[in-house]
């Protein structure tokens, strides 16, 4: 009888331990599952990539091997002299100068920032050139100083030849300020002195190209030319960057045919081709917004 009571007590104790452990384990498991579910609940949207997008956007490479395609020419090119609100704080060499309106607006912001640093003698010498104008320049200047029609960044609408009214740009405060600060506004010095072998173009301290953020910031930080940056993206496939309170995801895709890719619904995105067979999708969210959603 005593043995039966003994074993009954043992069985009751074991049952209590098992019953207590099940809820504890279930609670722990449920906690991990909840975290997993929250991560997988990020919704995505599908976007269509077309082959034409290879040839347009702020990151297209235009040089002697990669001519501008019709799709690559900016569709918002305007004559600056007819838009006086965009010509403030700098002068124009020629009243016929044209440029992408969106690029002109960012250039104006940059000039205003330079003025706050007491740098104010800017002149815009050249910007967008049509094919006929580029061909004429090529015939007059020759291959050492100009590219053939269709092979110049000036045929796109996002390249600017910026000068100083005081002196040559390589010695001017304007040139120094732009070299140090233009990346903050999405511009790059397109043909630096130390990249001649890579760009295939002589040093041009006046030639600035709009590529947009965060690309200009990444290029500045790593001392990349546009050629090097595009090679870097192609090699990495995907990179992340944080700039000015935004978290960026940059993805490179070969685009020899139409495709569908997915980006988070919560993010904004921009698409640019590289003019060589690929596209770059840059998606971003505000850092504070992302932290609230974590």
The H or E element containing residue 47 is strand 44-49
Closest CA to 220 of 249, 182, 193, 248: 182
Q: Which of 113, 140, 158 is nearest to 272 (CA)?
A: 158
CB 105, CB 86: distance < 8 Å: yes
> Among this protein's residues, is 132 annotated catalytic?
no
Q: Which of 135, 179, 204, 227 is catalytic?
A: 204
Q: Where are the beta strands (DSSP E) in 177-267?
A: 187-189, 207-210, 238-243, 246-254, 259-264
Cα–Cα distance measured from residue 243 to residue 277, given in angstroms and rounded to the nearest whole number: 28
| Contact in structure between 106 and 186 (CB atoms under 8 Å) | yes
Task: Tell me how far apart the 2 most distant CA atoms of the chain are, in Å.
Answer: 117
Written as six digits, the tokens of 47 are 């976007």
Give the integer Cα–Cα distance in Å for 11 and 250. 61
- Cβ atoms within 10 Å of 237's Cβ, excluding its own: 11
Known catalytic residues?
204
């Amino acid at each position: 009888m005593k043995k039966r009571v003994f074993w009954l007590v043992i069985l009751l104790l074991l049952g209590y331990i098992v019953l207590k452990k099940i809820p504890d384990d279930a609670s722990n498991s449920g906690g991990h599952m909840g975290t997993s579910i929250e991560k997988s609940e990020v919704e995505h949207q599908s976007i269509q990539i077309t082959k034409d997008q290879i040839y347009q956007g702020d990151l297209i490479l235009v040089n002697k091997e990669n001519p501008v395609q019709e799709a690559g020419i900016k569709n918002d090119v305007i004559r600056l002299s007819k838009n006086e609100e965009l010509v403030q704080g700098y002068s124009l060499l020629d009243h016929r100068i044209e440029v992408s309106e969106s690029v002109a607006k960012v250039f104006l912001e940059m000039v205003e920032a330079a003025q706050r640093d007491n740098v104010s003698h800017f002149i815009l010498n050249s910007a967008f050139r049509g094919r006929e104008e580029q061909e004429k320049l090529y015939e007059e200047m020759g291959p050492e100083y100009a590219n053939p029609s269709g092979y110049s960044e000036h045929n796109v609408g996002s390249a600017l030849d910026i000068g100083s009214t005081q002196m040559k740009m390589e010695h001017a405060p304007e040139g120094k300020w732009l070299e140090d600060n233009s990346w903050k506004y999405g511009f790059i010095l397109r043909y630096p002195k130390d990249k001649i072998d890579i760009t295939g173009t002589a040093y041009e301290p006046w030639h600035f190209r709009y590529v947009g953020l965060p690309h200009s910031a990444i290029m500045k930080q790593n001392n990349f030319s546009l050629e090097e940056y595009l090679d870097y993206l192609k090699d990495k496939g995907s990179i992340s960057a944080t700039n000015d309170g935004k978290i960026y995801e940059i993805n490179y895709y070969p685009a020899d045919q139409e495709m569908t890719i997915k980006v988070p619904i919560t993010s904004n995105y921009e698409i640019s081709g590289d003019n060589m067979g690929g596209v770059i999708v840059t998606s971003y969210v505000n850092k504070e917004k992302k932290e609230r959603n974590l």
